[in-house]
Amino acid sequence: MALTVIVSGVLEYDSGKTWLSISLGLVAKRRGLSVGMYKPVAGHSFWNKFGSIIESKKRGILLGNDVLMYEEYLGTLDDLGFVNPIDLLIAYPDPLVLHGFSEYLLSVSSLEKSLVMARVTRCTNEADTRHYVFVENLSLVPSAARQKLVELAKLLRAERSDAKSFLGFLASSEASTLLEECRERISAKKDIVIIESFSDSLLPYSGVENSVDFLILVAPGKALVFTGEKLRQAIELLGDRSIRSSSLLSVARYSAYIIVDVPPASSPRELGELLEKSEIARIIA
């Protein structure tokens, strides 16, 4: 049975989840363990991570920057569709085609309004991958970017859909079942599986808490490690599996198993070398 660790971020952006996840994977590999990386749901920006768009075209599958970084630092992994079964591509609208700046800000802050493409991979014996394009949102993207996105959608044979329906699926028990099946597949032949959560969600999907040995809650410069049992107790107390990571601090801050400072580093590799000497490495057998 693989040791299972979830890494969740306190902040919506830039908590440091990806670097910490990779660094722990490197620590585990140096200890001779087989490592599985798992990003159940990923979101990435067309504008900020354009390199991942280029790589997606080369590989014929929509991929975000996080899983590409896993591959860069940890080497050959499982099928990247299994590593990240659901991927969301965001592109913001042209501010001049909307009715005022307030509507623009609303669209930028709304996943339903800014989601232009998505991928879903089902972890069957052979990966069953489907891509979706959300035409209504895509039509509002500035023309130069829209052309690139239309080309990508055609290359990936993306099916037309609407963002609201897709996000409804994302919140459904069907999606949770799909994601759990992928986790089980990755875990089957690994000594440790490191699961990176989405945005500032405490859990990437409902039900995964039942398999967790440790939760690492990360913020810039700090990491708090909780046992799986403490996580399950906190969720029971809060009565909600879709809570934000920050909510855990309100009920379990003083019962952390380990608290460590996360030092600044120039790369996940350097961070892994630094963390190997810290208490956080104790959770890796």
User: 240, 264, 280: which is closest to 26 by C-alpha?
Assistant: 280
**Are 27 and 270 in contact, with CB atoms under 8 Å apart?**
no
Give a yes or no: residue 244 inside a domain: yes
Give a yes or no: residue 209 inside a domain: yes
Residues 170 and 46 both lie in one domain = yes
Give a yes or no: residue 24 inside a domain: no
Residues 135 and 201 both lie in one domain = no
User: 1, 6, 14: which is closest to 37 by C-alpha?
Assistant: 6
Q: What is the pLDDT of residues 48-106, one digit of tens each?
A: 888 999 999 999 999 999 999 999 999 877 789 999 999 999 999 998 888 788 888 88
pLDDT the model gives residue 284? 85
Q: Is the pLDDT of residue 127 over 80?
A: no
Tell me the whole-structure pTM to 2 decimals: 0.94
Give a yes or no: residue 21 inside a domain: no
Residues 242 and 273 both lie in one domain = yes
Q: Which of 115, 140, 174 is the last residue of a domain?
A: 174
Residues 154 and 229 both lie in one domain = no
User: 275, 198, 206, 272: which is closest to 235 by C-alpha?
Assistant: 206
Q: What is the pLDDT of residues 30-45, one digit of tens each?
A: 999 999 999 999 999 9
Residues 48 and 163 both lie in one domain = yes
Give a yes or no: residue 76 inside a domain: yes
Residues 143 and 247 both lie in one domain = no
Can you tell me which residue has the tokens 């998505």?
118
Residue 2, phi then psi, degrees to nearest 5: -70, 140
Residues 66 and 138 both lie in one domain = yes
Residues 195 and 152 both lie in one domain = no
Can you tell me which residue has the tokens 């829209």?
146
List, in sequence order, every residue forming a beta bridge with 261; answer none if it has no partner: 222
- Per-residue pLDDT band for 20 (boundaries 50, 70, 90) equals very high
Residues 156 and 242 both lie in one domain = no
Number of compact structural domains in the chain: 2
- Per-residue pLDDT band for 248 (boundaries 50, 70, 90) equals confident
Residues 196 and 136 both lie in one domain = no
Residues 164 and 66 both lie in one domain = yes
Residues 273 and 203 both lie in one domain = yes
Domain extent for 274:
190-283
Give a yes or no: residue 9 inside a domain: no
Give a yes or no: residue 182 inside a domain: no
